[in-house]
Structure 1
Amino acid sequence: MTEQRIFNFNNTKNFFEENLIRDTSNSNVLNFLDKFPNWETKLINIVGEKKSGKSFILQLFRKKKQFNYISNIEDFEKKYDELFLVDKLILDGFQINEDKFFSLINHFILHKKYLIISSREPLTMLEIKLLDLKSRLKEFLLIEIQNPSDDLIYSLILKYFSDNQIVIKKDLVEYIVKKIDRSYSSIEKFLIKLNDQSIIKKKKIDYKLINEVFNETV
């Protein structure tokens, strides 16, 4: 059985503006990015939990504003020397050697270039041994993606079931919204589990099945 993920932000084919759901949870990030290049600083740390949409937002932004984009340590290592030649760079959520990290950040600060780094927690909370690097990370402006609102959760649930070609009653969606944990990863896990159980048990999604899955995921 093939599982379809609700927040499949690693597939660049899905990075279209029309798929972006604007919400109070991501408004701070979106409003800030919309002001480019009129930013108060060129060092930005975008923070949000796993599956919160950081990569989706940054992929849209980098296409519109021609930012260079690195999303894994392999590409970072391979292109490391080239990164010192670019003026606009996004590092999207991966661990980096502290010495190389410091050298790159120092270069961007010295030459007043744009650097966006995404992470699950603020850069200043990372366990960093290199004191000079810890000092540089304090210069980044922190912008957070918050937990999703009820409206966003409702939209994400509908999108998930639509993507999986499942028809679900409005009252069931509202019931899930009221009960589900307010985190992106929890929402994804629950919906995948609910879909799997519906298929395994050959049952339509109803209150009983929803409650069974809630009980299993607590």
Structure 2
Amino acid sequence: MAVRVQPRQLAFVLPHAESLTRDNFLEGPANAAGLALIDSWPEWPNRIMLLVGPEGSGKSHLAAIWAEQAGARSTSAHALTAAAVPGALATGALVVEDLKSLDFDERALFHLMNLAREDDVSVLITARLPPTTFQIELRDLRSRLRAVPTVSLLPPDDRLLRALIVKFCADRQLAVDETVVNYLATRIERSYAAVRQAVERLDAEALRLGRPVTRALAVELLRQA
């Protein structure tokens, strides 16, 4: 007797646009210092400021808000070259995203920091870890980075964690009720990355099964983790 196997529905991973406006930024004690930094421009204590926080903590969102109000260009630290520095600073403000140890041109960054000071350009650098933890060969660059004022973003508190679950679901046009939010908030790691990963998995599983996102689905999914 032949057994019919139900075909498994494939879940296609599609890009989901996140709104990076000020109105869509979720405020809380964890990111209050970062928001205060953006709001205090152009009265910064230094022309170059560093925004540090874990993955998904809102660094890029805050940088986008500042870039909009300051008319700043944006570049990744990895892509920065010495030749591109003058053009990058041409608007008088620049965002340098995702500075990582051993993943950037030290001479290009040193040139940028010097030229920004000379030309009175505002620069916002984002990183997951403070540069004091980096391996940096150029002694002068190491000294300059240590002198840059740093603003840190903290792990989310309970209120912000729940708000992030709702926001990430809304970004993916997922309808969820309070039971789903409460279940996830009490069972996932208290980090921005864990929230994003949980919502992504819920979205993919709901699409694969052709089911709505419910508490029962969340229970099944986290049991598999």
Q: What band does the TM-score fall into relative to the shorter chain?
A: 0.7 to 0.9
SS at match of 2:185: helix
**How far off its partner does 1:115 sit?**
2.2
User: Which deviates the most, 197-206 or 90-99?
Assistant: 197-206
Q: Is the 8 A contact 1:45 1:123 kept in 2?
A: no
Please, what TM-score do these two structures have when normalized by structure 1?
0.83
Whole-Å Cα distance in 1 between the matches of residues 37 and 149 of structure 2? 11
Question: 1:180 aligned to 2:188?
Answer: yes
Residue pairs, 1:117-196, within 5 angstroms: 117-196=125-204
Identity level (%): 22
Q: Is the 8 A contact 1:91 1:116 kept in 2?
A: yes
Instruction: Name 2:210's counterpart in structure 1.
Output: 202
Residue 104 of structure 1: which of 94, 107, 112 is its match? 112
Q: Is the 8 A contact 2:80 2:108 kept in 1?
A: no
In structure 1, list runs of 5 or more residues that go unmatched.
none
SS at match of 2:182: helix
SS at match of 1:91: strand
SS at match of 1:179: coil
User: Which deviates the most, 99-108 or 172-181?
Assistant: 99-108
User: Which deviates the most, 97-106 or 118-127?
Assistant: 97-106
Residue 50 of structure 1: which of 55, 59, 62 is its match? 55
Whole-Å Cα distance in 1 between the matches of residues 122 and 208 of structure 2? 49
Whole-Å Cα distance in 2 between the matches of residues 128 and 119 of structure 1? 15
SS at match of 1:93: strand
Question: 1:38 aligned to 2:49?
Answer: no
In structure 2, list runs of 5 or more residues that go unmatched.
1-11
SS at match of 1:33: helix
Query: RMSD in angstroms over aligned alpha carbons?
Result: 2.4
Which one-letter code corresponds to 1:172 in the other structure? V
**How far off its partner does 1:116 sit?**
1.6
Question: 1:216 aligned to 2:221?
Answer: no
Relative to 1, partners in 2 of residues 1:166 and 1:113: Cα closer, same or farther, differing over 3 Å?
Answer: closer
Q: Is the 8 A contact 1:54 1:118 kept in 2?
A: yes
Please, what TM-score do these two structures have when normalized by structure 2?
0.81
**How far off its partner does 1:131 sit?**
1.4
Whole-Å Cα distance in 2 between the matches of residues 136 and 115 of structure 1? 14
Relative to 1, partners in 2 of residues 1:120 and 1:19: Cα closer, same or farther, differing over 3 Å?
Answer: same
* Higher helix fraction (1 or 2): 1
Whole-Å Cα distance in 1 between the matches of residues 170 and 144 of structure 2? 45
Q: Is the 8 A contact 2:188 2:195 kept in 1?
A: yes
**How far off its partner does 1:49 sit?**
1.8
Q: How many residue pairs are counted as aligned between the two chains?
A: 211
**How far off its partner does 1:207 sit?**
3.8
